[in-house]
Amino acid sequence: MNRFWNRLSGRWQFWVLYGLILLPALVYHFFTYQLTPLRNAHALPSASALVSGPLFDLTWGTVFFLLLLPVQRVSLWAFRVLAAAYAVGIYTWAYTNALFTETFFGLLSFEDLLIWSGQHEVGAEYAVGNATRPLMLAMFVLPALVSAALLLWAPRVRLRLPHYGMLLLAALIAHTYANTYAYRHLSDPRAFSVFNYAYASKDLYDKKERFIGSYYPPAAELRLVRANLGFGDGPVPEPYPFYREHRPTALPLLAPFRGNNVILVILESVSDACLDDETTPNLNAMKRKAIYFPNYYITGQYTSVSTFDILFSTVGAFVKSQYGPAYLETYPSLNEVLQANGYTIEFYKGGPLVQKLRDFFRNNGDMRMFDSEQVVNELQPDYRFNPAPGANDIIDDRLIFAFARKYIEVIRRPFMAVVATVSTHGPYFFPNDYQRRLPDEAQEAHRFGDEEFGKFLAWFEANPAFKDTMLVVTSDTATGCRYRLAQMTSPHKINDYLLHAPLFFYRQGMRQGHVIATPGSHVDLAPTILDALGYGYRSSFLGMSLFRSDVPRRQVYFRRYQRAGYVQDGCFYYYKNDLQREHTCRDGTNVADAELVQKFHDIDAFFNVINFIENNKGVWVDVKTGKPGAATAATSPSSAGAASP
């Protein structure tokens, strides 16, 4: 081996080393991302997705390489040993990553599986498959050993710098492709049952509130999942075990909505917990006369994820996956069902529409998409905006609602128009004349956003062309107008202020509100809209219509960044790193420290708009009259008698 190696020139030695390290990852990538999509008639991954991963890996590989350079000056052997150990570690980690960490379609990490399903290692054997383990072993562990051998015994010291750099780059790239098996098995009944069972899991804790591990074989697991999602005990369709027929609910309340056009307004970061005070008077008025869902929660902390959840009725971690869009060309969506019934779909957003969402929308129906750049180009010079530094691609709600009105008035019917606002997203985007009216900029932004929504609502109500149009209003996330207050209520910021989203169904002429108390989340919105419209359809949506009363539901899944859990009876149950259960309820009564509880209520009273203006009317501008020092007419019931600091 040494003799053969020494006969090669330095350039050939470099390419042999490079090929030995990089070839397995490239072959694995080719078979999983090129041949498989073509064989399944799916689109290839987008160019941006193929480039972004290696660039990210190159950055980290370079950083690690630079950190090792000082070691080389002290001892070349120490440098080689560390680099070899790193190579072995990264390949071995990629192998385990492929088996466990990214098993479930690249959507659920192993920690997610523990959190969502309460099943230790549930379904991992089935989701990956025994046949792939030797392949993964060959692709990751064997190259690691070869890499280590070449690092430790390659005689040409002058090759070490380019070789080590390529080794680290190739090793890091390998883990990028480690989750590919799962994407090839999106329709696998066993793998999909794991995902769905995790989504609709039950509480599995002993008296000490410690995690209990258990295991369900695929058949039993599948029955549990289908029962949790309201499928009953009927035959299981193959190969899609959650594919079912959805029939409209026979509810007199829904009769006026049948066959309507749809305007779906997705407000930015508006929490339901912030309603009923003077910050959001227009939403408050709508709440009193619309169909209102008081137990509705977000399923993701990112706009892209929440938007996906709403339109696709599944958990939007697909959006955060590097290659997700290529594998959802035929995934069921609200858009596709409506277009099958003749609807035109348009989407207007006050910020940039991320490329992955564009890919999803493009692959799932014919939808016209407009983001902030197109809106600004079309409406200038009539509208100007002053975004925060570094946020030139954001426009305020005044502009996006004006753009939406212009296009909705001429859209071909029947239609669904989606309007996504941005002003209430930190660092907040609203005109200067709204500043210093309220306690903090979050409330100022919410007040501005509510006023612009009120103008849009007035336009909708006054236009006779929309008498057969259903207006649906919700929020993508729920950071809310009480963000600073919400930081106090739990160590992981899991509380009503940050997870509780509003949901209203409304049409012209409604005067008497109606409350639907069914617990739900973003994944339930698409089935609920279709149910209100009266359309029957077949799909594998994870959600169900909130107008249904035949399936009792007490628990609703939520996710906030890296924390996942469920809501039950107004309390949020989630998990710390040791998987010990804790919960926060809406009123903060679970907080043990009496002083903190009092501080919580004091700050809550302080941030109430009426109290704030009453106590600061000589300094601040009154929110209702716009005149300094104006007296406040009333005090909200929630703050009556509360002390202000």
Q: What is the pLDDT of residue 352?
A: 79
Full-model pTM: 0.64
Q: What is the pLDDT of residue 16?
A: 59
Report d(CA 367, CA 371) in Å as an integer: 13
Instruction: Look up the CATH architecture of domain 255-585.
Output: 3-Layer(aba) Sandwich (3.40)
User: Cβ neighbours of residue 376 under 8 Å, at least 6 residues apart?
Assistant: 383, 385, 395, 399
Q: Which residues on neighbouring strands pair with residue 212, listed in sequence order?
A: none
DSSP 491-526: TT--SHHHHB--EEEE-TT--S-EE----EEGGGHH
Q: What is the pLDDT of residue 578?
A: 38
* Residue 79 φ/ψ, nearest 5 degrees: -65, -45
**Nearest Cα to 420, choosing from 303, 272, 559?**
303
3-state secondary structure of 537: strand
Report d(CA 211, CA 202) in Å as an integer: 12
What tokens does 421 get?
């606002």
Report d(CA 411, CA 573) in Å as an integer: 44
Cα–Cα separations (whole angstroms), residue 116 to 186, 193, 324: 19, 13, 21
User: Cβ neighbours of residue 347 under 8 Å, at least 6 residues apart?
Assistant: 353, 361, 367, 368, 369, 370, 417, 418, 420
| Max CA separation in the chain (angstroms) | 94
Q: What is the pLDDT of residue 156?
A: 44
Burial class (CB in 10 A: 0-12, 13-18, 19+), 26: middle
Q: What is the pLDDT of residue 415?
A: 98
Report d(CA 471, CA 237) in Å as an integer: 35
For the chain, where do the domains classified as CATH 3.40.720.10 start and end? 255-585
3-state secondary structure of 616: helix
Q: What is the pLDDT of residue 425?
A: 81
Q: What is the pLDDT of residue 113?
A: 33
Tokens 């030995």 — which residue?
20
Q: What is the pLDDT of residue 124?
A: 36
3-state secondary structure of 630: coil
DSSP 440-493: SHHHHHHHHHHHHHHHHHHHHHH-GGGTTEEEEEEES----TTHHHHTTS-TT-
Query: Which residues of the chain are modeled with pLDDT < 70?
Result: 1-233, 236-242, 315-331, 355-356, 379-393, 432-439, 484-492, 552-555, 557, 559, 561-566, 573-645
Q: What is the pLDDT of residue 594?
A: 63
Residue 280 is which amino acid?
T
Q: What is the pLDDT of residue 605?
A: 63
Q: What is the pLDDT of residue 289?
A: 95
Q: What is the pLDDT of residue 83?
A: 61
